[in-house]
Structure 1
Amino acid sequence: MLVQLEHVRKKYGSFTLELNMQIPEDRIIGLIGANGAGKSTTFKLMLGLIRPDQGSVEVFGRNAEDLGAEQKQEIGTVFSDSGFSEYLKVNQLIPVMKRFYPDFREEEFAERCEKFQIPRNKQIRDFSTGMKAKLNVLLALSHGSRLLLLDEPTAGLDVVAREEILDLLREYMEIPGRSIVVSSHISGDLEHFCDDLYMIHEGEIVLHEETDRILEEYGFLKVTEQEYEALDKEYLLRVRKEPFGYSCLTDQKHYYLENYPEIVVEKGSVDEVITMLVKGETL
């Protein structure tokens, strides 16, 4: 297990984050939630930058706070609110990276800069949003890391730039033993990229599921009031009153397809599932 958070609790004023999470090898884990839900705090806990008030955070089998320089070099990070001075040029970053990361792969980094049209003799402040995002990911991939922690790496990018970054990350995962934890407040960005999704809402994990299972087994029942009254509600997760009757979220779509062939059962996107989990009523 690359990362393990057990019974973690971190409190900031009136906000409390509570986590149980496991990051095994060879998985891409999506962390979804609105801004302020606790995603960045989760990353800081994994990096040992902050301590939990309760519980334990282990990375590579060691307490996150006790990671040495050698272990930290195996973690690549991208944070939306941090980075190098924008007055630097990319070529000026190379000696800095070599100093902090003995395994920095300068030739490979230079080749990728050329491939993704990142100018090396231009100040970073003159880069477009997409160029800055690609540079940050290239730097995280440049020093042999086996764990990537990426906080909103595709925020504000157009479709083409997003796909270029996701393709880079897919290539990174071709080597066994690696994993990625990537956050976004836009679940559609991660729907066809992640193996597992964790949904954080107001400091709590309200969903942990394999992405394929969400797409294949979760669904929405659209029923009249009469149909709702007659419905077996054991496998309903959330319900919302609608003008036509009720919309019901289930994680056992095929059960209702087989046993209630007369009702409407629709496939939902990850966004729709998450919206219902947050806004729908519990039974």
Structure 2
Amino acid sequence: MVKLDHAKKNYSGFSLDCSLETNPGMITGLIGKNGSGKSTTFKAMLGLIALDGGSVDVFGKPVSELDSKDKQRIGVAFADSGFSNYLTMKDIWAILKSTYVDFDEKFFQDKCRQFEIPMKKKLQEFSTGMKARVKVLTALCHNADLLILDEPTVGLDVIARDEVLDLIREYMENHEQCSIMISSHISSDLENLCDDLYMIHDGRVILHEDTDVLLSDYAVIKVSETDYETLDKQYLIKTKKEPFGYCCLTDQKKFYLENYPKIAIQSGTIDDLIIMMNGGELR
């Protein structure tokens, strides 16, 4: 659906060199700390920035060659952009209807009622949670084949976040060949939603893994300096010196559970992965 092959973009103090791919029927997560290149990657996918090298293909063609029909197939929600705060939902409805050939009025109306979104109030009167619902809803309302969602749950409370995530899950269930690319700072969102994950750091993808594999096979090992010396290090991805000894990341949890039953081993989470991959040393 989308393929980035060493897509390069250079700024003062930052450079992107990213390769990744999304596939039909899958939700792919993009994780990394602030400033790692997530938003720049999304902009590259959409052709919003001119590349300094590499390529971006969408629907099997260069992103620069997408025509109006191709762009109708894409739904986007950015954390730092949206409609003017002076517009009402009635105004937005009219804009979407005139913009998208496949605008689903019934879906839009039903979801506005479900989320109790007022039609005549201006967006500036909406809460943060309500604005987030609107952003995602406008991305989903025209039966897009590709969704790019940048931090769709940022700043939301637990209830509002669950509502947005349920909306995304429901959309995927009804559009089985759709491809969704999503970023989030909240690890539980991605663990429960995504099929696979890319981690980006300083503009480079440093890890790609199926979410199920990450949660089942990855682990954090904590050992004293003495135990670390005798530890088989062939399956360690990253190590980090700690006051108590060493903290290590592995993708072979079973090996260490079977061969080192007395050491502390805890299943890996996305938060663990981000911390270790950004702060540990490569083995």
Q: How does 1:1-283 map to 2 (within 5 A)?
A: 2-174=1-173, 175-283=175-283
Superimposed CA distance per residue, residues 44-73 of structure 1 (whole angstroms, 9 cap, x where no aligned partner): 111111122111100000111111110101
Note if contact 1:239-1:249 (Cα within 8 Å) is conserved in structure 2.
yes
Q: How much is the aligned-residue C-alpha RMSD, in angstroms?
A: 1.2
Quote the Cα distance in structure 2 between the aligned partners of 1:36 and 1:245: 30
In structure 1, C-alpha distance between the alignment counterparts of 2:83 and 2:225, rounded to whole Å: 58
Shift of 1:281: 1.7
- What amino acid is the match of 2:215? L
Cα distance, 1:244 vs structure 2: 2.5
Deviations 1:222-278 (A, max 9, x none): 212221111111111111222322111111111111122232211122101210111
Cα offset, 1:8, TM superposition: 1.5
**Distance in 1 between residues matched to 2:141 and 2:279, nearest whole Å:** 41
Q: Quick one: distance in 2 between partners of 1:172 and 1:21?
A: 23
Query: Aligned to 1:120, what secondary structure does the other structure show?
Result: coil
Question: What is the CA distance between 1:88 and its match in structure 2?
Answer: 1.1
**Offset of 1:282 from its aligned partner?**
2.0
Q: Deviations over 1:178-220 (max 9, x none)?
A: 0110112333331211111111111111221111111111111
Using the size of structure 2 for normalisation, the TM-score is 0.96
* SS of structure 2 residue aligned to 1:37: coil
In 2: Cα distance, 1:12 partner to 1:241 partner? 33
| Overall identity of the aligned pairs, in % | 54
Structure 2: 5+ residue stretches without partners? none
2: CA distance between counterparts of 1:262 and 1:128?
51
Q: Tell which deviates more after alignment, 102-111 or 118-127.
A: 102-111
Corresponding letter in the other structure for 2:227? E
What CA distance in whole angstroms lies between the structure 1 residues aligned with 2:243 and 2:34?
31
SS of equivalent to 1:95: helix
The code of the aligned residue for 2:267 comes to K
Figure out how many residues of one structure are paired with residues of the other and give that number. 282
SS in 1 for 2:18: strand
SS in 1 for 2:192: coil
- Alpha-carbon separation, structure 1, partners of 2:114 and 2:184: 26
**Amino acid in structure 1 at the alignment position of 2:29:** G
Corresponding residue SS for 1:247: strand
Tell me how far apart the structure 1 counterparts of residues 44 and 268 of structure 2 sit (CA, whole Å).
33
**In structure 2, what is the Cα distance between the partners aligned to 1:36 and 1:244?**
31
CA distance in 2, matches of 1:87, 1:20: 39
**Matches of 2:187 and 2:51 in 1, distance apart?**
27
Q: What per-residue deviation string (whole Å, max 9, x for no partner) do you get for residues 138-192 of structure 1?
A: 1111111011100111000000000000000001111221011011233333121
